[in-house]
Structures are given as C-alpha cells and as structure tokens.
Amino acid sequence: MEEFTYKKAGVDIDEGDRLVRLISPIVKKTFRPEVLTDIGSFGALFKLDTGRYKEPVLVSGTDGVGTKLKIAFLTDKHDTVGIDLVAMCVNDILTLGAEPLFFLDYFATGKLDADKAKDVVKGIADGCREAGCALIGGETAEMPDFYQGGEYDLAGFAVGVVEKGGIINGERIEAGDAIIGVASSGLHSNGYSLARKVFFEAAGFTVDKYMPELSATLGEVLLAPTKIYVNAFKAIKDHVDIKGMAHITGGGITGNLPRIIGEGLTAVIRENSWPVPHVFTMLRKLGSIPDGEMKKTFNLGVGYVIVIPEKASELSISRLKQYGYDAYHIGNVEKGETEKILYV
C-alpha cells in the first residue's frame, strides 16, 4: 500500500519554512519600537504608547486586492500587489484620522512557491514602510485543489490609533466647505472585473500590448499600485481643519463621498475640475460604458477626498503638492434635501 505524506497530499512544510526565512529580514525592516515580538510567534505583541494620548481609540480595517490579482498572474509580476493590499486597508482607517500602527496579512494558495510569495510580501512591506506601520504578523495557507495553479489570494488587516477628541467622521461638515480631490494613480484596486472584460475580451488586448496613449504596456498600467494617502493627511492635518475624508474605492465618488455627508447637505462636484487619466477614457470608449456606470465603478482619477473650510483650499492644495500629491478643488458642500451628490 502506498504511503502518504502531507507533501504528497500537496502541502510542502519545508517550502513554508523557506518562505519564513526569505521574508524575515524584509518584514523586520517595517518594525516600529512598539513591536515586542519577533517573526514566528503565535501572536504579535504591540505596546501602545499611551503616554501620547489622553483617550486613545483603536481603529481597524480589512480589505483585499480583488481581481487585480489576475493581472499579476498574467504578467507574472508579484511585487506590487502587496502595496495595493496595504493601501486599501490603511486608506480606509485613515479617513477617521487614525495613524496606522500595524498590519497583518493572509496569503492563500494551492501550491506554495516561496519565491513568488516573497515578492508579494516585499510589496506588503514596501506599503507598510510608506504608511509608517509595522508588518507584525500574517498567515500563509497552502490549500491543494482550492486554487488554480499559480494563483493565490490576499487579505489584509490594519490597526491604527486616533485621539478620541480627534476622530474625523464628517459630522462637522457644513454648507460652503470645499471638497478637495487628491489624485489617484489609476484604477487602484477597484473595477477590475469590468476593466478585464473590456480590455481582454471586448478589445482583445493582452497585458504585454504597448499602449502609446499611456506610454506603457497595458499590464504596467493595470498594475500601477494604489496610492497610500497617509502622508497626504500628515501634510495638512496640523495646518487645516479637516472635517471629513473619504477613500474613493468601489462605487467611485458617487458611492463613497455621500458616506460622510450629513442630512440636509449635498456634495456638488464640478466634473471638469480635475484631469481624468486616459486609461478611464479608453475604458469608456472601448466598452461603450455609460457615464453613470463609469462614475459608480471607477475613481476616475480621484483616489481620496478631503473636506475642509473653503478658505483653506489653496493652502491645502499647495501643501499636498509639496508632499507629492496632485490635488484639485473639485466641488463644494451645499444645502440640499434630495441629492447626497450632484455633478455639475
């Protein structure tokens, strides 16, 4: 009778151990002084510096990368989707004014390739360093027959902290406030099911097709990492009264900005007040996508929105640009009872 082992069943523990050895020095570069445990513990310890806060409130968020991972599989480029994973999580908790403290990841695949997984973790570590948070834990799951060959899935979990009196939730937004749009780097990590349908099925393109209009291959454009906006917040938080922030993900401005706009108010967006990246123009044309569908699916060039007093708009835009973020005054908050968002 044939003898069976875990490896014959599809799980290679030795490859998992090799991955830990490969990623250990990468992960340790993200550690903050508050991290108390090393790689390999059953749980990660993080000592909150309570001396910095009167009433510290922890803020948590979780997200994934979605079908953007399909582009990584097609291009066999895996060192940037980890940045997307971090961005999708930390940008969410940032909207409440939270400083990202630490991050955990979940990597699942059918057959573990330690070198490929190392590239993914490198991207996660890059994102954590940019966001200023520590990558203190994670899980690698090898599940034979569960995923197609060479594919994997990712999930991320971020925890941050904010002073209770400094929580930003939009409740102070009022008529007359300015709406500042901070530029995206492209599709970020949303709308890829539609984008893949248009580019690969309707248009018949491949990821290595060079796009003169975009000065890059289609794969390079679609893999552009999601921007992390932590430093954008830092650029203006001590200079401007920030009343509300929104991370523009699935649903676009249409679906996300209304989440912070209170009753009796309308966000009036001036449609031509920022440059729309050409990739969105191409999507609209190649897929004959209706305008409303574009607005509720893609960010259209605005990845983050900040609501501030009108008088602070020029200063905010100036400081954001100094920190490397293109930003635009894309609209204002007005009184209104029927529409939460209005395009003009």
Could you report the per-residue pLDDT of 142-169, keeping only the tens digit for each? 999 899 888 999 999 999 999 999 999 9
pLDDT tens per residue, range 88-128: 999 999 999 999 999 999 999 999 999 999 999 999 999 99
Is 215 within a domain? yes
Strand stretches in 177-254, DSSP E: 178-183, 210-211, 216-217, 244-247
Residues 18 and 157 in one domain: yes
Q: At residue 190, does pLDDT exceed 90?
A: yes
Domain limit, last residue, from 144, 166, 188: 166
Is 173 within a domain? no
In this predicted structure, what is the pLDDT of residue 6?
Answer: 79
- Per the structure, the count of domains in the chain is 2
> Angle of helix 13-28 relative to helix 114-131, nearest 10 degrees?
20
256: Cβ contacts below 8 Å, ≥ 6 apart: 246, 247, 248, 249, 305
Span 229-239, average pLDDT: 97
Distance CA 228, CA 211 (A): 26
Residues 206 and 339 in one domain: yes
In this predicted structure, what is the pLDDT of residue 7?
Answer: 83
Residues 70 and 216 in one domain: no
Give the count of beta carbons closer than 10 Å to the beta carbon of residue 185: 16
Is 3 within a domain? no
Residues 334 and 215 in one domain: yes
What's the CATH code of the domain at 303? 3.90.650.10
What's the CATH code of the domain at 58? 3.30.1330.10
In this predicted structure, what is the pLDDT of residue 337?
Answer: 82
Residues 159 and 132 in one domain: yes
In which domain, by residue range, is 113 found?
A: 13-166
**Percent of the chain topping pLDDT 90:** 89
Residues 106 and 241 in one domain: no
Residues 97 and 45 in one domain: yes
The vertex-107 CA angle with 95 and 226, nearest 5°, equals 35
Least Cα distance to 246 among 302, 191, 204, 189 occurs for 302
Distance CA 25, CA 135 (A): 12
Half-sphere exposure of 22 (CA within 13 A, CB side): 16
Residues 250 and 122 in one domain: no
Residues 121 and 152 in one domain: yes
Residues 212 and 113 in one domain: no
Span 278-289, average pLDDT: 96
Residues 297 and 245 in one domain: yes
Is 31 within a domain? yes
Domain limit, last residue, from 134, 166, 198: 166
Domain limit, last residue, from 124, 143, 166: 166
Is 1 within a domain? no
Is 2 within a domain? no
Q: Which residues pair with 302 in a beta bridge?
A: 183
Is 37 within a domain? yes
Is 5 within a domain? no
Q: What pLDDT band is residue 231 in, cutting at 50, 70 and 90?
A: very high
Residues 208 and 117 in one domain: no
Token pair belonging to 50: 């309570």
In this predicted structure, what is the pLDDT of residue 271?
Answer: 93
